[in-house]
Amino acid sequence: MKRSVVLLLILVTAAGFVDMFVKADSPDPDPEFYFTRLAYTENGSRGWGRFVPKDFRCPEFGGGNFFPPQGLGWSMDSPGADCKYMGGIHRLTGLRVYPNPNMIRITDPDLFKFPYAYIVEPGGLDLTDEETARLREYLLRGGFIHADDFWGLREKANFEYQMKKVLPERQMEVLPLSHEVFHTFFDINEIIQIPGERAGCYGGPTWERPDDKEPRIYGISDDKGRLMVVVTYNSDLGDAWEYMDEKCYPEKYSGQSYRLGMNFIIYAMTH
Give domain status of residue 123, yes or no. yes
Q: What is the DSSP letter of 185?
A: S
CA distances from 15 to 18, 20, 136, 199, 255 (A): 8, 10, 42, 22, 10
Tell whether 100 is covered by a domain. yes
Any domain includes 12: no
81 is in which domain, residue-wise?
A: 18-270
For residue 182, is it within any domain? Answer: yes
Instruction: Give how far the C-alpha of residue 218 lies from the chain's centroid of Cα atoms, to the nearest Å.
Output: 14
Q: Which of 169, 141, 140, 170 is nearest to 231 (CA)?
A: 170
Number of domains in the chain: 1
Determine the pLDDT at residue 64.
40
Which residues share a beta bridge with 148?
120, 232
Q: What is the pLDDT along the chain (271 residues), one digit of tens a residue?
A: 544 443 333 333 333 333 333 333 444 568 899 999 998 887 654 444 444 444 456 765 544 444 444 455 787 777 888 888 888 888 888 888 888 888 889 999 999 999 999 999 888 899 999 999 999 999 999 999 999 989 999 999 999 999 999 999 999 999 999 999 999 999 999 999 998 887 777 777 887 778 999 999 999 999 999 999 999 999 999 989 988 888 888 889 999 999 999 999 999 999 9
Is 116 a domain residue?
yes
From the number of C-beta atoms within 10 Å of its C-beta (0-12, 13-18, 19+), residue 229 rates as buried
Q: What does the CA dihedral 192, 244, 19, 265 come to, rounded to 10 degrees?
A: 70
pLDDT at position 7 is 38
**Calpha distance 227→194 (Å, rounded):** 22
DSSP conformational letter for 42: B
pTM, to two decimals: 0.82
User: What is the per-residue pLDDT for 26?
Assistant: 46
Specify the pLDDT at position 13: 32
In a domain, 7, yes or no: no
3-state secondary structure (DSSP) of residue 27: coil
Query: Reduced to 3 states, what is the DSSP secondary structure of residue 137?
Result: helix
Q: How confident is the model at residue 147, as a pLDDT?
A: 97
Angle between helices 80-93 and 251-270 (to 10 degrees): 70
pLDDT at 261: 96
Nearby residues of 107 by Cβ (< 8 Å), 6 or more positions away? 130, 131, 134
Residue 59's pLDDT is: 64
CATH of residue 113? 3.40.50.12140
Q: CB–CB of 97/82 below 8 Å?
A: no
Q: Is residue 11 part of a domain?
A: no
- For 56, phi then psi, to 5°, come to -65, 135
Asked whether residue 150 is assigned to any structural domain, the reply reads yes
